[in-house]
Amino acid sequence: MIVVQEQDFDLQHEYAALRQDCPSIGAIVTFVGLMRDFNDGDNVKSLFLEHYAGMTENVLADIVEKAKSRWNLQAVRIIHRVGNLLPSDQIVFVGVSSAHRGDAFSACEFIMDFLKTQAPFWKREQTEQGGRWVDARRSDEDSAQRWEK
């Protein structure tokens, strides 16, 4: 399940969906990304998230397929919010269920690393100095490239 939406999401609901009716699941790993109130040394008051509807969902589906071909996974759920967000707001959810914890941990982190570097989302943040588009981070590229080894 891959969803891009403006509204907030509920971790418990997503977890219940990952867990349901499958007694061969031994591990569920979830990641939630939250909006921080600082970035590059400045206080951030709000965030606007834009995306390329259509391509986003395709890219995310492709990342999930890659993860499923690499690890033994039961289910994967991704939710990414767009629109206006405030500090401490939930931005992104990735949940993975698997028979074994190693597969669930690796796949969840893999999906986040490629979501960060490949999925067409853009953040514009409002600081006390005004608005600015967030720059891509070299460290995110490095995180994604680890998986090529």
> CA of 3: how far to CAs of 57, 58, 81, 105, in Å?
7, 11, 8, 21
| Beta carbons within 8 Å of 30's beta carbon, 6+ residues apart | 11, 14, 15, 18, 93, 94, 95, 96, 108
Q: What is the contact surface with other proteins in residues (CB under 8 A)?
A: 33, 49-52, 54-55, 58, 80, 91-92, 101, 112, 115-124, 133-137, 140
Binding segment toward its own copies, per CB under 8 A, in 18-26, 48-56, 76-84, 123-131: 18-26
- Contact (CB, 8 A) for 96 and 75: yes
Among 24, 128, 129, 138, binds its own copies (CB under 8 A): 24
Within 13 Å and on the Cβ side, how many CA atoms surround 30? 17
Q: What x-and-dash track marks residues 97-136 binding its own copies by CB under 8 A?
A: --x-xx-xx--xx--x------------------------
**Interface positions with its own copies (CB under 8 A):** 10-12, 15, 19, 22-38, 87-88, 99, 101-102, 104-105, 108-109, 112, 143
